[in-house]
Amino acid sequence: MTRFSGVSRRGFTLFELLLVLALIGLFSTVFVLNIDSLMKDGEMETLEREYWRAVESARTNAVFKQQAHYLEWDPEGRQFLVVSGGATEAFPVEIESPVELEIEVLFEEIAPENSYVLIAGQLVQKREIVKVGFFPDGTCSPYEVSMRIADFETRFQMDPWTGVQLVNPNENAAGI
C-alpha cells in the first residue's frame, strides 16, 4: 500500500500530452479540409451576385429604355456583359484566390414544354446559346444558366415572364 504524500506533481502525463496532440491534429485536419470548400462557396456567391446584378441591369434597362438588352458571359475578361445597341455594361467577377480558378458560365435556351428543336439531326429541348435577351415588356428568353467554379456548380432555370429564378415545386414541398 502506498501512501499519498501532500506533494503535488509537476507536468503532464504522457497520456495527457498525446491526447492534446491528437485533438490538435483532428481539429487542424478538419479545418484544412473545410477551408477549401468555404473559399469556393464564397467564390460561388461572388459569381452569383454579379450574375444577378447583370440580370437586374439588363431587365431594368430593357423596360425603362424600351430597347432589348442582352446578357452574355465573357470568359476571357471573367465578366458578365449587358449589351444594347452600341453600349456595353460590364459586371466583372473579381475573385481573390492564390490559384487561378476556372470559371464556366453556360446559358441554354429551353424549348417550350413538350416541344423539341432539331439540332444536327437530334431532337433536343435545350441548346447552348451565347446570350440571353431581356425585352421591353419585362420578359426574357426562356433559359437555364449553369455556373461552375472548380468542382462547385449551381444551375437554375429562369422564368421567361418575370425574369426571376423558377422554384422547383419538388424542392419547395420537401422544405429544402
What does each C-alpha distance from 21 to 11, 17, 25, 29 come to in angstroms?
15, 6, 6, 12
Q: Residue range 75-80: average pLDDT?
A: 91
User: Does the residue 6 lie in any domain?
Assistant: no
Q: What's phi and psi for 21, nearest 5 deg?
A: -65, -40
Residue 23: is its pLDDT beyond 90? no
How many other CB atoms sit within 10 Å of the CB of residue 138? 13
The structure's pTM equals 0.67
Per-residue model confidence (pLDDT) at position 169:
47
Residue 43: is its pLDDT beyond 60? yes
CATH number for 101: 3.55.40
CB 133 within 8 A of CB 140: yes
Per-residue model confidence (pLDDT) at position 35:
54
User: Does the residue 3 lie in any domain?
Assistant: no
User: Mind listing the pLDDT tens digit for each residue in 79-106?
Assistant: 999 999 889 999 998 877 666 778 899 9
pLDDT bin (cut points 50, 70, 90) of residue 10 is confident
Residue 65: is its pLDDT beyond 90? yes
Domain range enclosing 152: 14-174
User: Does the residue 8 lie in any domain?
Assistant: no
